[in-house]
Structure 1
Amino acid sequence: MEETGKPTILVTNDDGIHAPGLRALVQVLVAANRYNVQVAAPDSEKSAVSHCITLFRPVTAKQINIDGATAFAISGTPADCTSLGISKELFPTVADLVVSGINMGSNCGYHIVFSGTVAGAREAFFNDIPSISISYDWVKGKSDPHDFTLSAQECLPIISAMLVEIKNQTYVRRCFLNVDVPTNVATHKGYKLTKQGRSCVKMGWNQVTSETQGQKMTSHMTMDTETTAPTQMYSSSVLPGHLIFKRQVTGAQHDADDHDYKFLEEGYITVTPLAALANVEGDCHAYFKDILLKVSEHSSRQ
């Protein structure tokens, strides 16, 4: 905690430093006048990069102006941004809390594995710093950029409660939080503690045969043509022997049980504790125990 007595929050994301979700979150944190706000976020779109880190080339950081905050645009991944942000190389103090978001699109179920937003929070968890990832369930035709501000305001009580626990040294550091805000944030049903489910959008591949304008695919893996995110061009000028393919949504699977995605769809703000380790179900261990016994018996006979 800095000499001002205010706790310090580091904000990152995967949509890029100019994304409306990050800007809304920073604006709400600054307006609260209770925090020192640092920003270390990708200089461009880095959605669905998971926990990718930059190893074999340097990253650059450029200070930019965001009112009320000290902010840097970084050429690396969300995990890079968090790592650099808490290293004392960019900022003189290490943040008390890292907040990653607000992402355009939900991050529930198996999509948590793909999410750069969640990775930004997970990287802080790896370094024993409390963290939270926040995503808004953006739906084309229903959502509005102002919904990011509403989402930030509704998550402020969670952020404040975490900081009280951190100050009192009572915060449990064995997990970090993943928060998803429903589409109709203005009429949400309250906060719901949930578990990570198995919901996932299925994707296949489609060969691109002509120059095609790319679109942002939000983290719930639905194509969105009305975002302000940078677009990507797929050139029709392909070297001999090369083909171009792009992903396409082919279907979806959702949980039958009461997990994060189901409650989000019902209109709750879901709060899901996560950890770095995924513990498999007991029957998987029993299955592979039998397999290894058979392998050992086969090896001993040779």
Structure 2
Amino acid sequence: MEHSHRPTIMVTNDDGIDAPGLRSLVRVLVSTDRYNIQVCAPDSEKSAVSHGITWRHPLSAKRVDIDGVTAFAVSGTPADCTSLGISKVLFPTVADLIVSGINMGSNCGYHIVYSGTVAGAREAFFNGVPSVSMSYDWVGGKSNIQDFTLAAEACLPIIGAIVAEIRNQTYPQRCFINIDLPTNVANHKGYKLTKQGTSIFRMGWRQITSNMQGGKMLSTMTMEANSEASEETETSTISPECLLFKREVRGAELGDDDTDHRFLQEGYITVTPLGALSPPEKDCHAFFQDWLPSVAVYPSSSAL
């Protein structure tokens, strides 16, 4: 990073370039007048696509008018957007920091694996560019659009501190950061360094008769387990030969106590360092270390 130039931050997300979380984050960053801001985000919602990438087909990138920034809407996944944005074919320079978010819905525990928001940051990490993913724990009936602005403002000290470390070449290169902001972000309890837990929503499937039944699932991974899906119907239904099924939440497993989900629910802004992949538990490795040598003595499947 050149000391004589303002640092550049590229923003992406998985809710789409028009999502209020991204727009609020961009407005807050622009208002500081400290950064050059680039935006490279999906042209439509791409929630819960994980780290999917587009391989066989070309992507389109269309200029979008957002005050104070250079912005493109891309016909790809969040990982695609990050990859394209740091490639120098879309922007003339590689951003100093990639920020993915602010997502509508938390991304804790195992939901990190599903998250397109986290994937946007992970793709930057794969390519050696510092990155942060940000998610707000949106709860229907309690949250409002203004909370995204409060969330963005609450993260400004973290972003500023990261940029300072990058400038000094002291920022760690072996991880990236996942941030979750509590529902009552206006009264958050401060930052809390956490680790990824094992919390997850358990899913089931429900057969439906119309592709409009069930409504739209809340963005990314936060869903209320006891919420009832709306029953919209179409004038025409699908053919009897084709069956339609829709995911629905059947319950939640909260996992470990001393982890990201717990502290988020207690009102903290959780800061969770992540690597490319989660390592297995030590006892799993120990099991397979003893087990693998014995595999050779088992008969082949053809002999069974």
TM over 0.5: yes
What corresponds to 1:222 in structure 2? 223
Q: Deviations over 1:184-237 (max 9, x none)?
A: 00100000000000000111000111342631323333169xxxxxxx998954
* Deviation (angstroms), 1:238: 2.6
Are 2:3 and 2:167, in contact at CA under 8 Å, matched by a contact in 1?
Answer: no
- Tell me the residue number matched to 1:280: 280
Q: TM-score, normalised by structure 1?
A: 0.93
TM-score, structure 2 normalization: 0.92
Q: Distance in 2 between the 1:118 and 1:233 partners?
A: 34
Q: CA deviation at 1:242?
A: 1.5
Confirm whether residue 15 of structure 1 aligns to residue 15 of structure 2. Answer: yes
- SS of the residue 2:204 aligns to: strand
Look up the match of 1:27: 27
Structure 2 unaligned segments of length 5 or more: list them: 226-231
Contact 2:199 2:256 in 1 (8 A): no
Match in the other structure for 1:129: 129
2:82 counterpart residue number? 82
In 2, distance between residues paired with 1:234 and 1:197?
Answer: 41
**What residue in structure 2 maps to residue 65 of structure 1?**
65
In structure 1, distance between residues paired with 2:134 and 2:167: 22
Name the CA distance, whole Å, in 1 between partners of 2:118 and 2:6: 25
2:107/2:222 contact within 8 Å kept: no
CA distance in 1, matches of 2:191, 2:235: 45
- Report if aligned partners of 1:133, 1:179 keep a CA contact under 8 Å in 2: yes
Measure, in 1, the Cα distance between the counterparts of 2:99 and 2:58.
Answer: 24
Aligned 8 A contact 2:21 2:103 in 1: yes
Q: State the distance in 2 between where 1:65 and 1:233 align.
A: 36
| Bigger Cα displacement from structure 2, 75-84 vs 289-298 | 289-298
CA distance in structure 2 between the aligned counterparts of 1:2 and 1:145, rounded to whole angstroms: 36
In structure 2, distance between residues paired with 1:130 and 1:280: 25
Output the amino acid matched with 2:195.
K
Paired residue type of 2:90: L
Distance 1:149 1:233 in 2: 36
Write out aligned runs for 1:179-258 (5 A). Answer: 179-210=179-210, 211-212=212-213, 214-222=215-223, 237-258=237-258
What aligned pairs does 1:94-133 form with structure 2 within 5 A after superposition?
94-133=94-133
Q: For residues 158-169 of structure 1, what are the structure 2 equivalents within 5 Å?
A: 158-169=158-169
**1:34-91 C-alpha deviation (Å, 9 max, x unpaired):** 0000000000000000000000111100001000000000000000000000011111
Distance 1:7 1:30 in 2: 12
The one-letter amino acid paired with 1:51 is: H
Please report how far the alpha carbon of residue 287 of structure 1 lies from its aligned counterpart in structure 2 after TM superposition: 1.5
Paired with 1:234 and 1:180, the residues of 2 have a C-alpha distance of: 37
State the Cα distance separating 1:257 from its structure 2 match. Answer: 2.1
**Does the Cα contact within 8 Å between 1:11 and 1:38 map onto a contact in 2?**
yes
| CA–CA separation in structure 1 for the residues paired with 2:73 and 2:52 | 17
Contact map agreement 1:179 1:269 (CA 8 A) in 2: yes
CA contact (8 A) 1:10 1:37 kept: yes
Q: Which runs of 5+ in 1 are unaligned?
A: 225-231
Query: What is the aligned-residue identity percentage?
Result: 65
Paired residue total = 294
